[in-house]
Amino acid sequence: MTVSTPTDVAARAARPVAGILWMVLTGLCFVAVTGIVKHVGQDMPASQAAFLRFLLGLVFFLPVLPALLRLRLDRRGWQLFGARSALHVVAVILWFYAMTQIPVAEVTAMNYLAPVYVTLGAALFLGEKLAARRLLAVAAGLLGVVIILRPGFREVSPGHLAMLGTALFFGASYLIAKRLSDRYDAAMVVAVLSVMVTVGLAPFAAAVWVTPTLPQLGWLFLVAGFATAGHYAMTRAFAAAPVTVTQPVTFLQLIWATLLGAIVFSEPADGWVVLGGAIILASVSFITWREAQLRRQRITPAPEATKL
């Protein structure tokens, strides 16, 4: 029998703390992405900003370029990657557009809805069981959206509709990602997606092209850098601690987004948005916890997993 030493026990005890700290860093990175896109998006078409973000971000995939060039896709692989990339292109354009239309906090809160869509899609298209408790959690997530939008009490703008579409298309994209992850290495899945999305965004960007300034290019390179750092930090968080530990920390991202909107962009803080976002996140956290309890294969990504 192996006896755990005090050092081993302390190391294991520290892992949840490390996971939480990595997730805090994840949230800060993605809030930075949101703030920069909000700033740049005032003077650049959404599709062009999205294209430049992905184009500039390709530099971060140079280390995996040799493996990417050696990758050979069969017909099914092309179909899956093509479908996912098409969904991602639409989702990204809608997200960039929404950033120019509605407050930062509302974009962040409504983005939490994507994992709820994934749960519904997994039940409808992948044959996964949707038990009563998970169904109630999904209903709670949709209730959170109603609280944020408050139809009939305020105007539901095109930006809100764009975010509903963003979450839907991101959710569908990650359902396909589940199939791809069974066939290809995770790094290749991300790299191929980035290349295909860049190519897919190109014609949309060309149709509305406005010559960017050097400062704009610099800001969008920062977006790509923060997005890459956010995904890296998220990966480290998941490696250090269970998702059930790190997921509630993502609520801080909504608080920071609210503060960013109020301080930098003079957007009034809206308690209803925070409440709705909290309800959506609580529903996603419950779904994740329940699946962990039942030792099922997790199909619902954390909110960060549907980021740019």
Q: In percent, how much of the chain has pLDDT > 90?
A: 27
> What confidence tens digit (pLDDT) does each residue in 266-281 have?
888 888 898 988 898 8
> What confidence tens digit (pLDDT) does each residue in 141-164 have?
888 888 988 887 778 889 999 999
**22: CB partners within 8 A, 6+ apart:** 233, 234, 236, 237, 240, 246
pTM of the model: 0.81
Residue pair 143/284 in contact by the 8 Å Cβ criterion: no
User: What are the structure tokens assigned to 134, written together?
Assistant: 């998970």
> What confidence tens digit (pLDDT) does each residue in 184-227 have?
887 888 889 899 999 999 999 999 999 999 999 999 999 999 98
pLDDT score for 32: 92
The residue that leads in pLDDT, 245 or 302, is 245
Cα 205 from chain centroid (whole Å)? 22
Mean pLDDT across the chain, nearest whole number? Answer: 83
Residue pair 177/196 in contact by the 8 Å Cβ criterion: no
> What confidence tens digit (pLDDT) does each residue in 89-102 have?
999 999 999 998 88
The residue that leads in pLDDT, 306 or 84, is 84
Lowest-confidence pick of 109-113, 131-135, 164-168? 131-135
**266: CB partners within 8 A, 6+ apart:** none
On the question of pLDDT at 136 being above 80, the answer is yes
DSSP assigned state of 151: B
User: Torsion angle, CA of 128/133/137/142, rounded to 10 degrees?
Assistant: 80
pLDDT score for 304: 53
Model confidence at 9, pLDDT cuts 50, 70, 90, reads very low
Residue pair 33/226 in contact by the 8 Å Cβ criterion: yes
Lowest-confidence pick of 83-97, 242-256, 291-305? 291-305
On the question of pLDDT at 126 being above 80, the answer is no
Model confidence at 295, pLDDT cuts 50, 70, 90, reads low
- How far apart CA 65 and CA 58 sit, in angstroms, is 10
Model confidence at 49, pLDDT cuts 50, 70, 90, reads very high
On the question of pLDDT at 230 being above 80, the answer is yes
- Amino acid letter, residue 163: M
Q: What are phi and psi of 214, to 5 degrees?
A: -60, -40
